[in-house]
Amino acid sequence: MSYKNWYQQHLEGTDFGDKVADRVVQGMGSWSFIIIQTAIIVVWVLGNGYFLIVHFDKYPFILLNLVFSTQAAYASPLILMAANRQADRDKIQAEHQYQHQEKELALNTQLTQDIHTLTQEIHTLLSSEKGPVPSSLEKASVNTEKAP
């Protein structure tokens, strides 16, 4: 079994519809979509207003307006669904970060306690074998106690 990070685990839980909605919203939120849509509007207006002999959508462009309304009706729920899934991903990531930081804190606390215990043992050994602790070692122990 290979290791999977939180994002890979989250992707396994998404179904086909969620993935399609994410892709559509990702495409609609891009510069290429804006440029293509602008080009279509310009061609539509110029073609129906000036260049075509048969104008299938005359000046108030009611059909174009209907197309935009339909696009907006489908885009709004897709954007909201994608935003909800993004909030879920953010929540999962925050929980994962919290768990990771808790593990690191526990490890750092244990390492700090171990260093402190070893320092005390060194001081005990030095003081029992050679008398008082040399001032250079006292300075070193003070520095290690202040270190994070």
Residue 67: predicted pLDDT: 93
Residue 24: predicted pLDDT: 86
Cα–Cα distances (Å) from 34 to 25, 40, 42, in that order, read: 13, 10, 12
Residue 139: predicted pLDDT: 58
pTM over 0.75: no
Residues in CB range of 92: below 8 A, 6 or more apart: 6, 10
Torsion from C-alpha of 81, 84, 85, 87, nearest 10 degrees = 160
Q: Where are the domains of the chain?
A: 15-146
User: Which residues in the chain show pLDDT less than 50?
Assistant: none
Distance CA 104, CA 107 (A): 5
Residue 21: predicted pLDDT: 82
